[in-house]
Amino acid sequence: DFLTSILAFWPLGINLPGYRKFHFLHHLKVGTASDPELLHKNMKFPDYELPINRYKMALFFIKDLLCLSVYEVLILISFVVPKKKTDLILPNLFLGSIIGLLFFNDLTWVLILWFIANISSFWAFFRFRIYIEHIGSKGTHRIVSNPILSFIFFPYGADTHWEHHKWPTMLYYNRAKARDLISDVPLVSIKELFDSYEKESHTESSTKNLAIDFV
């Protein structure tokens, strides 16, 4: 937990206990009114409202790159704040130490660049992943991606999100191999998924034919 926190969560201003609670509840209540990820999306319509075309998606991507989605980032961070105040001590000490170290070594520009990246390019790429996971579904889209898209947008098996929900404890590098174990739920390309977003608002009946498994 400490290594995960110091290498992944604290640099983003997020604490592991808060995220763990958010993520476990998302798995338990995915697609329901109690799904915290769905609650977050519902606060930012029309960003995630269907139907939506590629033109609007591109505009949202550009908006993110221009740091115009700070409000949404702050909303998401508020969803992962733990109830125990003690869980905030170490993250704040870590960030404070890093800020002080950079400031006293005349590296303030590194700090500014890091936080700008978090609310611009990082969020833009993160939003793209949100679009291919659960939008318009009570379950999880089972997608297939080409190597270039996987390298840019879906590192560490992020394009096997369906498999992640199917086998939550499975290590990311085994999920692609595990795909062969499921044959009755077809894979859908990102192009096909985005084409469907332009045509209709998804319902349980329409998305189930689009390679959705309501797990």
β 140-141/188-189 pair status: unpaired
Q: Confidence band (pLDDT; 50, 70, 90) for 209?
A: very low
pLDDT on residue 44: 67
**Cα angle vertex 124, ends 61, 157, to 5°?**
125
> Which conformational region is residue 136 in: left (phi greater than 0), alpha (psi within -120 to 50 degrees), or beta?
left
Q: Confidence band (pLDDT; 50, 70, 90) for 82?
A: confident
CB-count exposure of residue 97 (10 Å: 0-12, 13-18, 19+): exposed
What's the mean per-residue pLDDT of the chain?
Answer: 88
Q: Which amino acid is at 101?
A: L
Per-residue pLDDT tens for 7-49? Answer: 999 998 888 999 999 999 999 999 998 999 998 888 866 788 8
Residues 6 or more apart in contact with residue 24 via CB below 8 angstroms: none
Share of the chain above pLDDT 70, in %: 92
Contact 149, 168 (CB under 8 A): no
User: Looking at the predicted structure, is the pLDDT value of residue 129 above 80?
Assistant: yes
* Better pLDDT: 200 or 25: 25
User: Looking at the predicted structure, is the pLDDT value of residue 201 above 60?
Assistant: no
User: Looking at the predicted structure, is the pLDDT value of residue 159 above 90?
Assistant: yes
pLDDT on residue 110: 94
